[in-house]
A and B are shown apart, each in its own frame.
Chain A
Amino acid sequence: QTVVTQEPSLSVSPGGTVTLTCGLNSGSVTTNYYVSWHQQSPGQAPRTLIYSTNTRSSGVPNRFSGSILGNKAALTITGAQAADESYYYCVLYMGRGIWVFGGGTKLTVL
């Protein structure tokens, strides 16, 4: 069974840089998985930040960037702000209409 792994929690100082990762229990994440990243605040619907690995969604600040780092997908926040404190989810497309979500990362800005 495919499992997508994310750090359960991370913290960053205001103005700092943090990288969240999205891996697979078996194999490497590549651009072929069309990774997307989504931010969700409590009680709110998810908001797409990044799609197709590294394309920023409309209106998303350029302090958010997506990439492949080694064998994982990565979401990097540069110059973190208090408003970035949230949950972040990645999702991979496995082919044939199948999608798998990561367990999510709770990001704290302190």
Chain B
Amino acid sequence: QVQLVQSGAEVKKPGASVKVSCKASGYTFTSYNIIWVRQAPGQGLEWMGWINTYTADTKYPQKVQGRVTMTRDTSTNTAYMELRSLTSDDTAVYYCAKDGSEPTVDSWGQGTLVTVSS
């Protein structure tokens, strides 16, 4: 069955960078795209970006444009999300999710808590 397994929790200092991984299994990795979503404490879900796993094309919201980079490694079926120049506002659980044969979210990873604290 489809599984998206994310890397473990991270604690970072302000100004640092974090890279979260999302390893996919149970389907053909390059057939479906990955989106990244975050959830700050007590808040809703926020779209962080999208990567076409076949072409490596990406799209980011303006809010994080310039600080985020999404990549993928087709040899290991893993997607990555790197966020730079971290501030306390970036403290959140970060999720990866996949789309299906249509551009609709149909599966989620378990989430990765990123804490930014001095």
Q: Do A and B come from one complex?
A: yes
Residues of A within 8 A of B (CB): 34-36, 38, 40, 45-48, 51-52, 57, 89, 91, 93, 96-104
Do A91 and B108 form a contact, CB below 8 Å, given A34-B102, A97-B59? Answer: no
Q: Which of B44, B108, B109 contacts A103 (CB 8 A)?
A: B44
- Chain A residues closer than 8 Å to B47, beta-carbon distance: 91, 98-101
Interface residue total, chain B, C-beta cutoff 8 A:
27
- Asked if B3 CB lies within 8 Å of chain A CBs, one says no
Let me know if A99 and B35 touch, CB within 8 A. yes
In angstroms, Cα B37 to Cα A46, docked, is 11
- Asked if B52 CB lies within 8 Å of chain A CBs, one says yes
- Chain A residues closer than 8 Å to B80, beta-carbon distance: none
* Smallest CB separation, A95 vs chain B (Å): 8
- Chain A residues closer than 8 Å to B100, beta-carbon distance: 51-52
In angstroms, Cα B33 to Cα A93, docked, is 13
A interface majority secondary structure: strand
Let me know if B104 and A93 touch, CB within 8 A. yes
Residues of B within 8 A of A (CB): 33, 35, 37, 44-47, 50, 52, 57-59, 61, 95, 97, 99-100, 102-111
* Apart from the given pairs A46-B108, A48-B106, A98-B61, 15 other A-B contacts in the complex at a CB distance below 8 Å: A34-B102, A34-B104, A36-B104, A38-B108, A52-B104, A91-B45, A91-B47, A93-B99, A97-B50, A97-B52, A97-B58, A98-B50, A100-B47, A101-B47, A104-B45
* Smallest CB separation, A31 vs chain B (Å): 10
Q: Which of B45, B50, B102, B109 contacts A101 (CB 8 A)?
A: B45
Do A89 and B44 form a contact, CB below 8 Å, given A97-B52, A97-B57, A97-B59? Answer: yes
Let me know if A35 and B104 touch, CB within 8 A. yes
- Chain B residues closer than 8 Å to A102, beta-carbon distance: 44
In angstroms, Cα B105 to Cα A93, docked, is 9
In angstroms, Cα B30 to Cα A27, docked, is 33
